[in-house]
Amino acid sequence: MSKKVHKQTAKRKGKRPAKKPGAPVVYVLRLYITGHTPRSDASVRNLQEFCEKYLADKFELHVIDIYQQPELAKEGQIIAAPTLVKTLPLPLRRLVGDLSNQQQVMRGLDIKEYGG
């Protein structure tokens, strides 16, 4: 079963899912990319594979093309792409690159329990 990945829209910015008591930790991730370049496409593909393997149904992924929505890149203080930002659970974490090394992504996102 694949998790739906959608592009961030200006209407949704700043909104976070409500956490229900006893609900599993939900990872809210924002991946900032620069159009459909090979590096951007690889980062999306690598992150989707990582999330399916280690986070199962416990993630929400927003892919933000900074060419289409530069105001979100400015708001997020993004200076390089691709950049992954974990907004929930706290603390906030940032990773830059194509996300091909799953062990680095796991450490970078401070993921301790995994579903794979």
Pick the CATH number of 25-109 from 1.10.3720.10, 3.40.50.720, 2.40.50.140, 3.40.30.10: 3.40.30.10
Residue 90 is given by DSSP the state S
Model's pTM, two decimal places? 0.76
Under 8 Å between Cβ of 32 and 76? yes
**pLDDT tens-digit profile of 28-86?**
999 999 999 999 999 999 999 999 999 988 999 999 999 999 999 999 999 999 999 99
Number of residues that make up the chain: 116
Burial class of residue 90, CB neighbours in 10 A (0-12, 13-18, 19+): exposed
